[in-house]
Amino acid sequence: MEALKHESVEPTGSSDTFFQISKRGASIIKRLQNHLSQPHELRTMRQWRINDAARMAGISPSTLRKHETPSGLNVAAEPVKLGKPSYADNGQRAYSLSRVNDIRRIMGNYKAKPDHADPAIIATSIFKGGNHKTTTTVNLAGYAALLKGHRVLVIDLDPQGTLTTYYGYRPGFDYVDDDNATIINAMTEDPTAIKNAVVKTQWDNIDLIMADSRLEGLDLTLYNPDMNQQKSMGPVFNRLSMALEFVKSDYDVILLDCAPNAGSLTYNAVQAANIFLFPLKPDASSISSLTSFTHILHQVTQYTKPSHAYIRGFLTDIKKNEESVLMRSLIETLLNTSSGSLLLENVMIHSVELERATNDLSSVYEVTPRGDIQAYRRAINAFNRIGDELFGLIETMWGVR
Ligand SMILES: Nc1ncnc2c1ncn2[C@@H]1O[C@H](COP(=O)(O)OP(=O)(O)OP(=O)(O)O)[C@@H](O)[C@H]1O
Ligand SMILES: [Mg+2]
């Protein structure tokens, strides 16, 4: 990347200094994003080999070979269930996301959400910054879209817009003139505006509602009775639930990625969700953050009365050290209730491969493994186990388990 030209004007006071930093920051971010993250239009999805494709579709590679033959026919010259395979340039069978999802359906392995059931609406939230909320959201979306074949909507509720960048959109640069680009209009003007906020992603079956710094102003707008159609739109913490009514029949899973705070967007997410999920690193600050977060949520939800099928924490960034073991046991104690543990049994390990995927602004499900393949498999397997456990709860909620 080319170096930026030097700013020649000396700042004359704090405000001037802040202005100059923010101006330079905006142009650096734009260059960085052009450099690092592939824009949405250029993003393509990877393909998978036969062993991975079969496993993801819930069958063995030999069953897949039996039902998908080079001629599309079996030995008795009858058409096989899955027809002919596609091949990569190297001559090996190659499977796209939509092909994996077709195979799953044709082989009868798709666990559909019943029409009458609500989608799983999962809010990933905790007070504490950098506690893997967005990583969880983006990988759960990948898991739901690829390993379950569901229709997924991800909603970025964080003005930082980190989730948005995972799908090739650039917060603050794409759609800046479009008032409907984020969730704001749907929450302050007209709930049906949510339909205009939905954009496509590189995944056939993941849609996105993006975020940018305009979301910072939402607290001011929502809490000001003159500014947000309170008469027609009702209680400020129900706005996201209201808006979701207009899109929820299009999805099986809706993921809400919250900012590390307890602002109005977080309360709206808590209210709209039927599953409340908090990632916890095994450290003292996670414990204190969860303690103060639940204290506030207790006060708010006494009045708002959200209806959660499940409230669950899960451990992330697990390392093999004594400190991790001690903190883990304290968190287990914290989440042990009279009706059972609120902690998922499976944990996410500390993973350099996952870190690498997030640096590439991708989920582990999209990156083509490179470097240490064993470490990549450990990361994806750990996330799969969390996905399996969570979707076990979701399928119970849907009554299809
Ligand atoms: N299992 C993991 N092992 C190692 N690093 C991880 C893991 N999961 C996430 N990370 C790293 O942790 C960092 C923070 O993750 P993430 O952005 O998901 O946190 P967040 O809670 O969404 O942050 P914020 O509060 O700013 O929204 C990222 O750089 C990511 O690469
Ligand atoms: Mg985040």
- The answer to whether residues 100 and 124 belong to one domain is no
Maximum C-alpha span of the chain: 85
316 CB less than 6 Å from ligand 1?
A: yes
C-alpha of residue 317 to centroid of ligand 2, in Å = 15
Tell me if 71 is assigned to some domain.
Answer: yes
Tell me if 10 is assigned to some domain.
Answer: no
Looking at residue 30, its pLDDT comes to 66
- Count of domains forming the chain: 2
Ligand approaching nearest to the C-alpha of 375: 1
pLDDT of the chain, 401 residues: tens digit per residue: 455 555 556 767 777 777 777 677 666 666 666 655 677 777 888 999 999 999 999 999 999 999 999 999 999 999 999 999 999 999 999 999 999 999 999 999 999 999 999 999 999 999 889 999 999 999 999 999 999 999 999 999 999 999 999 998 988 888 988 989 999 999 999 999 999 999 999 999 999 999 999 999 998 899 888 888 887 888 999 999 999 999 999 999 999 999 999 899 999 999 999 999 999 999 999 998 999 999 999 999 999 999 999 999 999 999 988 778 889 999 999 999 888 999 999 999 999 988 888 888 899 999 887 778 899 999 999 999 999 999 999 999 999 98
**Phi, psi at 349, each rounded to 5°:** -80, 160
Which of ligand 1's atoms lies nearest the C-alpha of 382? 1
- The answer to whether residues 59 and 181 belong to one domain is no
Residue 161 DSSP code: -
Tell me the whole-structure pTM to 2 decimals. 0.92
Residues with C-beta atoms within 5 A of ion ligand 2: 133-134, 162
CB 72 within 8 A of CB 58: no
C-alpha of residue 136 to centroid of ligand 1, in Å = 8
CA dist 389 and 362 (Å) reads 22
281 CB less than 6 Å from ligand 1?
A: no
- The answer to whether residues 333 and 346 belong to one domain is yes
Domain span including residue 133 = 111-398
User: What are the CA-CA distances from residue 301 to residues 82, 294, 358 (Å)?
Assistant: 50, 10, 33
Please give the full DSSP string across 276-305, using - where no structure is assigned: EEEEE-SSHHHHHHHHHHHHHHHHHHHHH-
C-alpha of residue 159 to centroid of ligand 2, in Å = 9
- The answer to whether residues 175 and 97 belong to one domain is no
Domain of 330: which CATH number?
3.40.50.300
319 CB less than 6 Å from ligand 1?
A: no
C-alpha of residue 303 to centroid of ligand 1, in Å = 32
User: What are the CA-CA distances from residue 86 to residues 44, 83, 96, 117, 328 (Å)?
Assistant: 17, 10, 9, 36, 46
Tell me if 74 is assigned to some domain.
Answer: yes
**Phi, psi at 387, each rounded to 5°:** -60, -45
- The answer to whether residues 273 and 303 belong to one domain is yes
Q: In sequence order, which residues have a C-beta less than 8 Å from that of residue 381 and are 6 or more positions away? A: none
CA dist 377 and 364 (Å) reads 10
Residues 80-134 pLDDT 10s: 999 999 999 999 999 999 999 999 999 999 999 999 999 999 999 998 899 999 9
